[in-house]
Chains A and B, each alone.
Chain A
Amino acid sequence: MVFSSNVFLFLFLPIFLGLYYLSGIRYRNLLLLIASYVFYAWWRVDFLALFAAVTLWNYWIGLKVGAAGVRTKPAQRWLLLGVAVDLCILGYFKYANFGVDSINAMMTSVGLSPFILTHVLLPIGISFYIFESISYIIDVYRGDTPATRNLIDFAAFVAIFPHLIAGPVLRFRDLADQFNNRTHTLDKFSEGCTRFMQGFIKKVFIADTLAVVADHCFALQAPTTGDAWLGALAYTAQLYFDFSGYSDMAIGLGLMMGFRFMENFKQPYISQSITEFWRRWHISLSTWLRDYLYITLGGNRKGTLMTYRNLFLTMLLGGLWHGANITYIVWGAWHGMWLAIEKALGLNTSPRSINPIRWALTFLLVVMGWVIFRSENLHVAGRMYGAMFSFGEWSLSELNQASLTGLQVATLIVAYMTLAFFGIRDFYTNRPPEKTKPAVNVEADGPASATPGMIKAVPGDNPASIHEPGYTVGVEATVQPAYWTADWSRYVMRTLVLVLFIASIFKLSAQSFSPFLYFQF
């Protein structure tokens, strides 16, 4: 099921919320689990069995690892077995086609007959639920969370429908307590409504309109320089509004049920370095990669050269995670390369002022990355890059001019104005403190929790106030600022959100189908 579909909005969600608040607190996790399985089975019932099997497997491995003791040899063996099986499942369903195709291409080029494999169907959300399961068994091994005996809580954690299909990539240790006791308040619920509607508007209003432009430009056989840049910029905005919209909806749904998920986006396009970009883009994935891949590879403990290798490798595999295509590998390598270069140059990645040149350069690198990320294959990417940097014809081609509508142009402008406004506002309200503090030293063997998570300020609080006495969260904590500090602006915003939400519902019912981009990963 898709959040931005009529079936979800008007049948699933009302029925679920009704049952959820009517049932006793004891049964809510079970209800959540059943609802999440229904949500998943709406796509295909048969693949629900695979999902349930993976859940059971990791539950069992978790118990075994936990029983063997933290960081002991037998625990390590159980962990390796668990991770290996998880990766094999992911590998088979996600990469078998790609692997066989690549081998066949090689074999036919030397004159051998190719293998035959029936096309393997990619189960929706498999990359996400496998990663979440792996993080759980690694956390149990590292002693960051005890192994859970409660199968329902664990299954509900993996399956919880707001994040089931396209993230954020949650971690059991962040949510374990929330499964046992969480509060359901009016404040949380109303905030959840806002987040959910915001996400819906982002998706239906902006991303869906821009999708047409991007698709059209990337499909042109002979794009001009203007076409290629338009396509690249439209896709850059589309991807952000699509995926951050999805994350907003997930976080909002979580809040309606009393959960607080981690933030997934923090105005990524305001970044002034690729390192900063990855602290603001798909945060749940980048922290996952850091805690479970980068640190497992050795992190920055084994000398400078190994650090660069680990950075590069982490991003390369992170790229491959997005899909079995050479374009994703190149994209990952591209980002890994820049991360390593920035580390080598010793760039200041938490600047206190906006340097337009650095910002523009970073944005250019990010946009260039998105071009190959969006392209179906290297041929399309080559065509787009060729057009972008030939600096030939800046006007749009005839085909593009004819199909580009005023609504699309207006949406693109609104999208970039929104990005600029909220980006700059976020930058100045969340500036790092003046004094340079020693960086938090994350040891490879230390708990993965060495970097503190997000804590949400109470609406109306000044985000900087946590540095004052009386706040016990610690000065290292990242605090997401309350959305609005004065109340009148909140009335205006919530009214606007409601109105735009209704308009988006109309738009959704007018257009036929609107899948999220991140469903394919």
Chain B
Amino acid sequence: MTRSLRILYIALFLLTLFALGVWSTRSFFGFNTSAETTVLNGRWTKAVETHYDAEFPIKRLGTNLWAALDFKLFNEGRPGVVLGRDQWLYSDEEFNPIVNEELNLQGNYALVEGVRQTLKAKA
């Protein structure tokens, strides 16, 4: 690899970091944390980082690009999304394995049944 190509390579790498870095600082304008987020136990840095990630300039673009890629290549939704028919989208939480799911299911059925009976009694 020649010297100039090396410089180009490093420049491209650094440019990506610096450009996005400068662009991303605008998320701090007018940002302040509440008094409870103390510095000593890491709450403040956590709050800053969460805010920074949420406001990151290419977050929306990245999310859209990867969702489009997933959809085009595999006909799937983003993690957490299940595609339905007629452009319906569903959340996938029902597919997550849970401890004692059978029991939970029974409990929820009972709850639904209880609500139904209460409503019936009132109506």
Contact = CB atoms under 8 A, between A and B. Distances in A.
Interface string B8-49: 011011101110110011000000000000011110010011
B42 A44 contact: yes
B21 A10 contact: yes
* Most chain B CB inside 10 Å of its own CB: which residue of A11, A42, A221, A403: A11
A414 interface: no
Interface residues of A, number: 50
Contact of A221 (B17, B40, B95, B99): B99
Interface string A187-198: 101100100010
Interface string A33-58: 00000000111111000000000000
Interface string A484-512: 00010011001000100110011111111
A42 B62 contact: no
Given A14-B14, A186-B7, A498-B13, A45 B97 contact: no
B105 interface: no
Given A17-B14, A186-B7, A403-B95, A507 B75 contact: no
Given A186-B6, A510-B59, A6 B52 contact: yes
B119 interface: no
B123 interface: no
Interface in A1-53: 5-7, 9-11, 13-15, 17, 41-46
B contact face: mostly helix, strand, loop, or mixed: helix
B121 interface: no
Contacts of B18: 14
A112 interface: no
A111 interface: no
A190 B12 CA distance: 11
A405 interface: yes
A9 B20 CA distance: 9
Contacts of B97: 216, 219-221, 399
Interface string B62-94: 110111001001111011001000000000100
A487 B9 CA distance: 14
B115 interface: no
Interface string A202-220: 0000000000100010011
Contacts of A110: none
B113 interface: no
Interface of A: 5-7, 9-11, 13-15, 17, 41-46, 186-187, 189-190, 193, 197, 212, 216, 219-221, 399, 402-403, 405-407, 410, 487, 490-491, 494, 498, 501-502, 505-513
